[in-house]
Amino acid sequence: MSYEPRAASYKPKETLRSGQLKCFAIVCFARSRLEARSRFMKRPFPILAVITGILLGYAMYMALVGAPTEQTMGDVQRIFYYHVPSAWTAFLLFFINLGASVYYLIKRSVAADIVALVCAEVGVVFCTVVLITGPIWARPVWGIWWTWDMRLTSTLVLWLIYVSYLFLRRFSSSGQTPLLAAALAVLGALCVPFVYFSIWFFRTQHPQPVMGGGGSIDPRMLHVLLLNWLAFSCFAFLVCWSRYRLEKLQREVDQTHAMRSLLDEPARRTRSA
Amino acid sequence: MKNPYLFAAYAATWIIHVAYLGTIVSRYARLKREIEELKK
């Protein structure tokens, strides 16, 4: 046998081929998983969407027609059936975001990170509804669109915290982004009880809470309120589910792209050599 | 809905939700195109 001196960077052709095959197998596996996920999405999602649509339609009918008209405010009070359930849904989503963020901080789970992101995003949408429907109700009742009282200001601050969370997730490319976002989410969630209890501890222009705060409500109104909350919660769940699948798919596609570039790289090197 | 404020509040709510759903649908469409390219 004759000895041939070779450079340190030399790699035999067989190793390159097996590496390419391995990468190709991973890409094929990722593709099959993407297809399986698309098929899974097709079955129960439309059924749940139809049920939620019917529930939302019925809840809207009850809010506009079924619920009794309030004596002093008249029809404007019906904004309450969208404003309050939207706020409760936003708070619920921010609490789920808190739980998922804490879980991510402890376990570094990718699924928890996605749940946190999705809940923050959908929560911000519901919080936006609260911040828009509130002033629309306030204008005819208080005579002003906005006042810097504790409830309104703290809700705006809460919204800004979660918008900054989403900006951090969207525009930061650091590997530490999920960790920083989880820490920010924990701080943001601390604001939620402050927003809720602000009308108990401070003198504000905002009405007293309808549940657990000394306020009273007609049982028929309460029924419509809870019905709308149920409808909005189902809607939020569906949107979160859809957004979760999208985010997971997006991450898998990104990984597949990364693997593909890995697959192409040795071939390019071989060609250039 | 005779009250304009009531109409505005309900319309604003659904415009916000539909706009957000629109962004999800467009992101899905973009992702679907990427998956089709990957299949090639």
Domain tally, chain A: 1
pTM exceeds cut of 0.90: no
Q: What is the pLDDT of residue A215?
A: 62
- In whole angstroms, give the CA distance from residue A89 to residue A95: 10
Q: What is the pLDDT of residue A178?
A: 86
Q: Of A145, A49, A147, which Cα lies nearest the Cα of B8?
A: A145
Chain B residues within an 8 Å CB radius of A123:
none
- In whole angstroms, give the CA distance from residue A38 to residue A25: 20
Predicted confidence (pLDDT) per residue in A119-155, tens digit: 999 999 999 999 999 999 999 888 889 888 888 999 9
Reported for A61-68, long-range contacts at CB under 8 A and 24+ positions apart, including other chains, are A62/A224, A62/A227, A62/A228, A63/A224, A63/A228, A64/B1, A64/B6, A64/B10, A66/A220, A66/A224, A67/A220, A67/A221, A67/A224, A68/A218, A68/A220, A68/A221
Is residue A4 a part of any domain in this protein?
A: no
Q: What is the pLDDT of residue A19?
A: 58
Q: A61 vs chain B: nearest CA distance in angstroms?
A: 11
Q: What is the pLDDT of residue A33?
A: 63
Is residue A2 a part of any domain in this protein?
A: no
Answer yes or no: is the ipTM higher than 0.90: yes
Q: Find the residue in A nearest to B14 (Cα).
A: A129
Give the domain range for residue A90: 15-272
Predicted confidence (pLDDT) per residue in A78-113, tens digit: 999 999 999 999 999 999 999 999 999 998 889 999
Q: Measured between CB atoms, which of A83, A136, A246 is closest to B8?
A: A136
Average pLDDT over residues A213-236: 87
Is residue A108 a part of any domain in this protein?
A: yes
Q: Measured between CB atoms, which of B17, B20, B38 is closest to A253?
A: B38
Q: B15 vs chain A: nearest CA distance in angstroms?
A: 10
8 Å CB contact of B24 and A243: yes
Reply yes or no on whether the pLDDT at A221 is more than 80. yes
Q: Find the residue in A nearest to B29 (Cα).
A: A246
Is residue A7 a part of any domain in this protein?
A: no
Q: Measured between CB atoms, which of A38, A76, A246 is closest to B5?
A: A76
- Split at pLDDT 50, 70, 90, the class of A207 is confident
Is residue A9 a part of any domain in this protein?
A: no
Q: What is the pLDDT of residue A238?
A: 94
Which residues in chain B come in under a pLDDT of 70?
1
Chain A / chain B CB contacts < 8 angstroms: 75
Chain B residues within an 8 Å CB radius of A27:
38
Is A256 part of the contact surface with chain B (CB cutoff 8 Å)?
yes
Reply yes or no on whether the pLDDT at A192 is more than 90. no
Reply yes or no on whether the pLDDT at A11 is more than 60. no
Q: B26 vs chain A: nearest CA distance in angstroms?
A: 11
Is residue A96 a part of any domain in this protein?
A: yes
Measured CA angle at A80 (ends B16, A76), to 5 deg? 95
Is residue A10 a part of any domain in this protein?
A: no
Whole-number average pLDDT of chain A? 82
Is residue A1 a part of any domain in this protein?
A: no
8 Å CB contact of B13 and A256: no
Q: A230 vs chain B: nearest CA distance in angstroms?
A: 16
